[in-house]
Structure 1
């Protein structure tokens, strides 16, 4: 028989290991599509909400770029991510069994605004603005669905050439807020921007409509979604993926939803983003 002291020590060690497993932090990130301070405020609230719903510590980890968000997900530095359509497709191709689990109500029918500096003389139109050819043009991040993938797709469709051939100069601002700022300042004549970032900044008074305005809106497409790694059940306990999914779908606090902004979250699947994957392949953005 084992001495009583050894049994007690073994039991204590087992309890310690059990508590460590229970206390393991669940981490998530998000593509940096807007001002960093705004993202930190938004996703710290999400972390607090998920912590309460899941009964584990949840931490938001900011990243500097879309590529960094994908890398963090691939390397298991984060287990959940708020991706755009393209970045989600890219991440899921790198992590076996990862899944899109929830999308915003608005993400079913997302769109991109083309915006122009007032000096161009261009105004809102129902059809693609052919007058942008030969002007200076800025996308957002190179990995952005709304700020690069979809606008580039439409540019190629209309002009039958790459953006670098269609425009006098092409830039990549890095995020939608900077795209708006650069076009408003006249650094670029035309740009492509996430329609929700535009509407949010317009409502908050950050946009001067006498200097920059929307000249065209793309047809709708699927965009942002929450994507989770396929190994979370093994790491955090059975049914954890479903618990995370349900917590996201149950998010109902108006203040929390408004920070996205989304009216609610709905179930999502990898198949929902097949149109994004097909478009990315068609213009050479996927290997």
Structure 2
């Protein structure tokens, strides 16, 4: 554990002299996967423990959508945040964010799956073939544009690869968070919707009757577990306190305290295990997926001339090659 902490601190650039700046408060951003009331209750115990560890008040920061938390970090209203991989990528690119740890599940797994779900009574939709059949006149619940599992992953694997544009394929498209999409399917307000295995696990715990009305009709390849991201310009001494807290939480200390912290993590969000070190390299597969999606759309764009298409594809392929090289040479955390 000490070796993990030391290596992580070096990777995170925490060996510089401590900053003289003193922070009066730490704002923790939480993406809107469900109602802010439910999320606040879920995160409160862990944030109280973080507050004790860093020595300043820690306040939860909510916004109506993922972009609101990203913009909050950009304008320094958010100091660190829980993101999905796609929104973390946006925070890194647009808000000077930096991935520093990754969540895990209580069993130690570091991944989850995007889903397309339908109501159990909907016999017209049972598999991917039914999902991409535009003749069915289905209604569709899409996820937040900055959601990895609710938007990015299905937009490539379900729609781009099958040459489908949801707005033209489906009778009606609405956008909501994971909880909203799940309840819309359960209540037969939409035929199909995006979701993920973590959100469905949480729904089974909180609203088992609604969860029982939902069936899975498509599952993605494994997605890396969510990262935590801090502002790169936070004082080094504050980074060190934050990093030490997350890497030791549920790991080090008296046996009873470790057990209590593990219990807190198990009730945070959809149910977490201990944190593991991470970096912006965690986002490489997500960047790759974004480029693949763009490449497929470009390849299928009939409005481009042959020369324009060739030039765009060449540029995308160069970016993919560069990203592939980075993935091969970046050491695993």
Normalised-by-shorter TM-score class: 0.7 to 0.9
For 2:15, the equivalent position in structure 1 comes to: none
For 1:93, the equivalent position in structure 2 comes to: 93
Report how far residue 250 of structure 1 moved.
1.8
- Contiguous gaps of at least 5 residues in structure 2: 1-19, 251-260, 298-333
Report how far residue 114 of structure 1 moved.
1.4
- Contiguous gaps of at least 5 residues in structure 1: 1-19
| Aligned residues of 1:123 and 1:213 also touching (Cα < 8 A) | no
For 1:51, the equivalent position in structure 2 comes to: 51
Q: What whole-Å deviation, never above 9, does each CA across 1:40-83 have from its counterpart, x for those lacking one?
A: 11222232111111122222222221111001000001110111
For 1:142, the equivalent position in structure 2 comes to: 145
Report how far residue 122 of structure 1 moved.
5.6
**1:122-137 alignment to 2 at 5 Å?**
129-132=128-131, 133-134=133-134, 135-137=138-140
| Stretch moving more, 30-39 or 195-204 | 195-204
Report how far residue 228 of structure 1 moved.
0.6
| Stretch moving more, 262-271 or 105-114 | 105-114
Report how far residue 28 of structure 1 moved.
1.5
TM-score by length of 2: 0.71
| Aligned residues of 1:79 and 1:232 also touching (Cα < 8 A) | yes
Q: What whole-Å deviation, never above 9, does each CA across 1:144-199 have from its counterpart, x for those lacking one?
A: 111111111112244122222333322212x1111011111111111111211111
For 2:40, the equivalent position in structure 1 comes to: 40
CA gap 1:218/1:55 in 2 versus in 1, 3 angstroms: same
Q: What whole-Å deviation, never above 9, does each CA across 1:128-156 have from its counterpart, x for those lacking one?
A: x1111222211122221111111111122
Rounded Cα–Cα distance in structure 1 between residues aligned with 2:157 and 2:168? 14
For 1:159, the equivalent position in structure 2 comes to: 162
For 1:257, the equivalent position in structure 2 comes to: 265
TM-score by length of 1: 0.82
Matched, 1:244 2:246: no
- Aligned pair count reads 257
**1:66-105 alignment to 2 at 5 Å?**
66-96=66-96, 98-105=97-104
Report how far residue 21 of structure 1 moved.
5.7
| Aligned residues of 1:159 and 1:166 also touching (Cα < 8 A) | no
For 2:288, the equivalent position in structure 1 comes to: 278
Report how far residue 124 of structure 1 moved.
6.3
> What's the secondary structure of 1:64's corresponding residue?
coil
1:184 to 165, 172, 186: 186
> What's the secondary structure of 1:24's corresponding residue?
coil
CA gap 1:168/1:214 in 2 versus in 1, 3 angstroms: same
Rounded Cα–Cα distance in structure 2 between residues aligned with 1:254 and 1:88? 25
| Stretch moving more, 205-214 or 110-119 | 205-214
| Aligned residues of 1:115 and 1:216 also touching (Cα < 8 A) | yes
> What's the secondary structure of 2:62's corresponding residue?
coil
